[in-house]
Amino acid sequence: MELPKPEPVGNQLLVRVHACGVCRTDLHLLDGEVEIPRPPIVPGHQIVGTVVSRGEGAADSEPLEAGARVGIPWLGWTCGRCRYCLSGRENLCDTARFTGRDIDGGYAEWTVADERYCFALPEGYSDLQVAPLLCAGLIGYRALGMTGDAERLGLYGFGSSAHIIAQVARFEGRRVFAFTRTGDEAGQSSARELGVEWAGDSLTPPPEELDAAIIFASVGELVPIALRAIAKGGTVVCAGIHMSEIPSFPYDILWGERTVCSVANLTRKDATEFLTLAPRVSVRTDVHPYPLADAGRALEDLRAGRFQGAAVIEIDR
Ligand SMILES: [Zn+2]
Ligand SMILES: [Zn+2]
């Protein structure tokens, strides 16, 4: 639909959008699995654009002055005062606002965003290539951090996040095992091309025990499957914002100090760290551009698993 061009107020930047990554969370919002508090909303939270102007409250500071390339992620605002914000856990802020859920996002030609939650982007990446780093990369990075120093790492669901984080894990010297939907041979071979040691379907046990697993797929059945694949003391990290119901499982697959945890959102510290790390790793992203008018098709292709890597909406200049 046609909306009026937004006006930047307070700390906001007005941004001309060039590209916006497509995330599974967008599908969960569309399907009502994650609630939109005040619909309708413009989705999209992996926004790459150019700063055009700023609200009267925004400092005219580098590196986000007019003309600069800027990245806008999911975390759009936090209160700065609650127990979580004051303890370095702004990702858990009770009143946080999220881009593409509470704040109009990047499936649009223009957007506004609070400059305190915007990031300069690494050079050497095109707008299309850098977009998936802003959620798939960031959430994957946060999830990877929760696996500690696990050497043998399983990734369940080899999509946008996993194809980025597999490269970071390899860079860190970890051994990566990729799990896809049954019969997804294209996914398994693209995982092998990225240097994972083993790729197979998620119902097949890995060739040896894992030290940790990250579940990117929104499938609750994978939790007991991953628990059975990890060694004592290992962690299963659920990285999605939504997951179907987890079936009950016997205590003995959790016994042995195994842990199951979730990852929620991101902090600005995660963003700064990961956007510095990605070019050092030389993370490359496999992107599939769709014009803005075909955003619906991009989402349906994601749902059906019709591409490897990440879909990105490309907005005409
Ligand atoms: Zn807070
Ligand atoms: Zn996302």
Pairing of strands 97-98, 75-77: antiparallel
Which runs of consecutive H residues, i.e. helices, occur in the chain? 24-30, 127-130, 136-145, 160-171, 185-193, 222-229, 268-281, 295-304
pLDDT tens column, 149-187: 999 999 999 999 999 999 999 999 999 999 999 999 999
56: pLDDT confidence band, cut at 50, 70 and 90?
A: confident
Correct CATH for 138-262 of 3.10.20.30, 3.40.50.720, 3.40.50.1370, 3.40.190.10: 3.40.50.720
Decide if domain 12-134+266-314 falls under CATH 3.90.180.10: yes
Give domain limits for the chain.
12-134+266-314, 138-262
User: How long, in residues, is the chain?
Assistant: 317
Q: Which ligand is nearest to the CA of 263?
A: 2
- Percent of the chain residues topping a pLDDT of 90: 95
197: pLDDT confidence band, cut at 50, 70 and 90?
A: very high
Ligand 2 centroid to residue 87 C-alpha, Å: 24
65: pLDDT confidence band, cut at 50, 70 and 90?
A: confident
* Residue whose tokens read 């009143």: 95
| Closest to 121 measured CA to CA, from 68, 165, 52, 61 | 68
Over residues 263-267, the mean pLDDT reads: 97
pLDDT tens column, 288-306: 999 999 999 999 999 999 9
Over residues 181-195, the mean pLDDT reads: 94
Question: Helix/strand/coil (H, E, C) string of 72-119?
Answer: ECCEEECCCCCCCHHHCCHHHCCCCEEECCCECCCCCCEEEEEHHHCE
Q: Is the pLDDT of residue 236 over 70?
A: yes
Ligand 1 centroid to residue 81 C-alpha, Å: 5
Ligand 1 centroid to residue 83 C-alpha, Å: 7
**Full-model pTM:** 0.96
Bridge partners (DSSP) listed for residue 19: 48, 314
Distance CA 18, CA 173 (A): 35
Per-residue pLDDT at 59: 66
Distance CA 167, CA 94 (A): 33
